[in-house]
Chain A
Amino acid sequence: MNTVTPTRATRTDPRLVTLVLRLGAPALALVAAFAITSLVLVLAGDPVGEVWSTILSVPETRNLANIINNATVLYLSGVAVAIGFRMNLFNIGVDGQYRTAAFVAAVVAGEAWLPGFLNTLLALMAAMAVGAAWAGIAGVLRATRGVSEVISTIMLNFISISVVAYLLRKAAVAEPGSNSLNTKEVPEGSRIPNLSIGDGPSTEVYGFVVIAALVGLAYWFMLNRTRFGFDLRATGQSSTAAIASGISVKKMTISAMLISGAVAGLVGMPILFGSSFTYGSTFQPGLGFAGIAIALLGRNHPIGIALGALLFAFLDEQSNPLQILVGVSPDIVNITQGVIVLTVVVSYELVRRYGVRLEQHAVARALAAEPAGRRDTSEKEVSA
């Protein structure tokens, strides 16, 4: 519905066509996801109208705070994955990287070798270093031995679960009456202050949201305004062409994995310094996988990823009211998220093919017009 007919499209400014196509894809995806999820609801015999009115209800301030907080975490995960994607590297290991990094940072911050924010800074550096190192293993294996990073990062995820669980038992401080294992708490002076967005309980957003935004900005800058970013994108699009133009693919592979891992190292930091103040057995798992979906949703674009993260966080937040107030299984939220990812992938491909066809039509028409010796393409566009 958001796309235009071929005849009209050829008449309009090609830039406008690109823009419409770009916006059309996600819009198409959301509409399709909406339809498919509704179908699932109907099949399950759930109240469709009530579900959508609950999901689409305006969140209260404290829900809004939760959404922003979760989106911050998801955003970092999405950016970490996207850096790899841009290089055609599939970093599935963000999960293991952030977990290992969060544990190390929690231990460093909990030990508080340095005072105040120096301690925070040290812990953040440690997190980035650990995340980078963990991802770097996969990068080096890929560059030197040709090991697929998909395989090695998945394996590293499992290794990280075991290693961190083992170390956590060593580092955990026992709290009487509690059944969870936790590291020492981050001292108050080293916590990142939250920003209040309203009155009442739990209406604070992570101060880390600012750092996440800076990470997004840095990602955009690196990609679009630096030689390194150009090399990265070039290598991602065609490694043979990159080699031909003198780019060292090995070096790029390792650097991309290191940077992706460093950002992955930050994923758990908003939680560590903003709400939990400790790493323990209930530290949020699975953020790395959510990041893959969000990077896909956001087309690896810094703003797109932010929108994707907000959308996912928004849907997650509606899971509880759906269960309690409407009485619908929370799985419907998972289904919606999964369906959105699939429809986005499909609709981008559809729109891309449509765009290609538009281009082919335009070229064909121009070529057909040329032998007749009348106008060239640009004139045709203007006059027609």
Chain B
Amino acid sequence: MRRSNKLAALFTAGILSLAATSCGSDDSGGTASDDASGGSGASSDIKVGMAYDVGGRGDQSFNDSAAAGLDQAIEEFGMTSDEAEAEDGEAESAREERLRTFAEAGYDPVIAVGFAYAPALTKVSAEYPDVHFAIIDDSSIEAENVAGLVFAEEQGSFLVGAAAALKSESGQIGFVGGVETPLIQKFEAGYAAGAEAVNPDIQIDSTYLTQVPDFSGFGDPAKGKTAAQGMFDGGADIVYHAAGGSGGGVFEAASEAGALAIGVDSDQFETADPSVQDVIMTSMLKNVDVAVLEYLTEVDGGTFPSGTTTYDLAVDGVGYSTSGGQVDDIADQLDEFKQQIIDGEITVPTTP
């Protein structure tokens, strides 16, 4: 009796540890193996090393957007590339080692996708001064061989916030953030500012799915659904999500409640399941692909950019999508806000 209990406990532990070590990297099977070489005849001897954040290629979100930029560069310039992705719960040294392995193997440039690479890149960029690096979502590294590619997420969020306020009939809208980090707070701050610019009395419900270091809020549709359901039940009629893979749940909840939702990062009207397509009013575009492609275009031209490049409304680094046609009737008002932001007449806050 006692022994069988103990044995059961041992197995539980085995399974738990399996789960603990393997979660967060579900659908990455073999992604790194397909190094696309030579797209359309163009050829180049530039080897790009791509270090993704947790989730990697295929996450339908942030990493995928970066991958799209890379794919396009490969297509256009005939570069070659190899990819690696971060794992949930890995040591800081694993991130460093990923960048180092690329640098050692002759990859130049090496692109780090995600702010989590900042401490690792600070160290590794100093060790390999001849290799060029780029990092997305971080501008804290000051080194000759590092380019920081950052986005004005708050500006794009401002526009979809304004759209939500213009479209809302109940005067109550919602925001679902994946993980409460300064980055996602920028989305929330811009969204709220945009909504209030249209309707100062609007009620905005905000929630975050998880807290650091639990990053599961970016990949848990069930959590996203529960959070959005609560908002719809409470009277909100439009919910904006900045929650990566959890957004699918937000769309489902909107569909069930007969309400609307706003997507994030890419034009989710195009990528979402057809059954929830009609609830996606618009999406806040964060064009990571554009940033990656522009960076690689410069590299192809022979110059390695360094310093910080901010992708904002002025350069169409962020924006909103119009597929589905649900915001066509308010496009004039949104474009007016857009112009005011570009002209500096409106300054969008970055913290809620």
Contact = CB atoms under 8 A, between A and B. Distances in A.
Nearest to B18: A338
Contacts of B116: 180, 282
A212 to B, nearest CB: 15
Interface string A83-120: 00000101010000001000000000000000000000
A168 B17 CA distance: 27
B213 A282 contact: yes
Nearest to B139: A177
B105 A161 contact: no
B14 A161 contact: no
A319 to B, nearest CB: 7
A331 B22 contact: yes
B181 to A, nearest CB: 6
Given A282-B116, A324-B102, A178 B138 contact: yes
B344 interface: no
A271 B92 CA distance: 9
A283 interface: yes
Interface size class of B (residues with CB under 8 A): 35 or more
A327 B82 contact: yes
Contact of B97 (A162, A166, A175, A320): A320
Contact of A324 (B29, B105, B183): B105
B30 A328 contact: yes
B91 A62 contact: no
B212 interface: yes
Contacts of B33: 46, 327-329
Contact of B28 (A180, A317, A330): A330
Contacts of A161: 210-211, 213-214
Given A178-B115, A275-B92, A324-B105, A289 B211 contact: no
A317 B100 CA distance: 12
Nearest to A344: B14
If over half of A's interface residues share one DSSP class (helix, strand or loop), that class is named, otherwise mixed; here it is helix
Nearest to A335: B22
B200 interface: no
Contacts of B13: 90, 292-293, 296, 341
Nearest to B150: A177
Interface stretch (A63-71, A217-225, A250-258): A63-71
A88 B7 CA distance: 11
Contacts of B265: none
A319 B210 CA distance: 27
A342 B18 CA distance: 9
B211 A341 contact: no
Given A166-B211, A319-B87, A324-B102, A345 B30 contact: no
A177 B140 contact: yes
B313 interface: no
Contacts of A179: 115, 118, 137-138, 181-183
B101 A276 contact: no
B75 interface: no
Given A289-B21, A324-B32, A275 B138 contact: no
B88 interface: yes
A46 B213 contact: no
Interface string B1-19: 0100011011101101110
B58 to A, nearest CB: 11
A165 B215 CA distance: 12
A289 B20 CA distance: 6
A381 interface: no
A373 interface: no
B98 interface: yes
A334 interface: yes
Nearest to A348: B10
Contacts of A164: 211
Contacts of B118: 178-180
B21 A285 contact: no
A175 B119 CA distance: 12
Interface string A277-319: 0000111111101101100100000000000000000001101
Interface string B70-105: 000000000000111101111111101110111001
A70 B34 CA distance: 30
A245 interface: no
B308 interface: yes
Contact of A329 (B10, B28, B92, B182): B28
A330 B51 CA distance: 13
13 contacts: A44-B30, A62-B100, A202-B123, A276-B119, A281-B212, A285-B214, A296-B10, A324-B105, A328-B32, A330-B87, A334-B87, A337-B18, A345-B11
Interface of B: 2, 6-7, 9-11, 13-14, 16-18, 20-22, 25, 28-35, 49, 82-85, 87-94, 96-98, 100-102, 105, 115-116, 118-119, 123, 127, 137-141, 148, 150, 180-183, 210-214, 308
Interface of A: 44-46, 62-63, 66, 69-70, 73, 88, 90, 92, 99, 161-162, 164-166, 168-169, 174-181, 201-202, 238, 271, 275-276, 281-287, 289-290, 292-293, 296, 316-317, 319-321, 323-325, 327-331, 334-335, 337-338, 341-342, 345, 349
Given A178-B138, A334-B22, 4 more contacts: A164-B211, A165-B214, A281-B213, A323-B98
